[in-house]
Amino acid sequence: MHYAEYQGVYYIEGTPDGVSLIKPIETELNQIFGQSQLKSLDDIKEKLNQEVRSLGGNCVYDFKYGQKSTFWKGLFGMDDVHWYANGKIGFIKNLESLG
């Protein structure tokens, strides 16, 4: 199972043993004139970290992310590429079990 840590929150592509579900999460970086395609995965994790911490979690599992292109925003001259991410906020007592 692949995982990465970003500023104290673990991002896990799968479901680890012993994780407690807090709630599903879904977000995107989609600014009208903000050049979202120039943002990075760290920017989306920064946004997710705020909610994870506010709910007492320490991980996002079943984590999926990427960039999407939107035709209609491109048609009107707005940024047509944006980052998205989704998964489940959780808490893992034994973080060593990830290793």
**Residue 9 DSSP SS3:** strand
75: region left, alpha or beta (phi > 0 left; psi from -120 to 50 alpha): alpha
CB atoms within 10 A of CB 30: 18
Distance in angstroms (rounded) separating the CA atoms of residues 32 and 66 = 18
- Angle (CA) 12 2 7, round 5°: 50
Ordered structural domains, the chain, with CATH? 2-98 (3.30.110.70)
0.85 cut: is pTM over it? no
Q: What is the pLDDT along the chain (99 residues), one digit of tens a residue?
A: 799 999 999 999 999 999 999 999 999 876 555 454 556 889 899 999 999 999 999 999 999 999 877 665 555 545 566 789 999 999 999 888 887
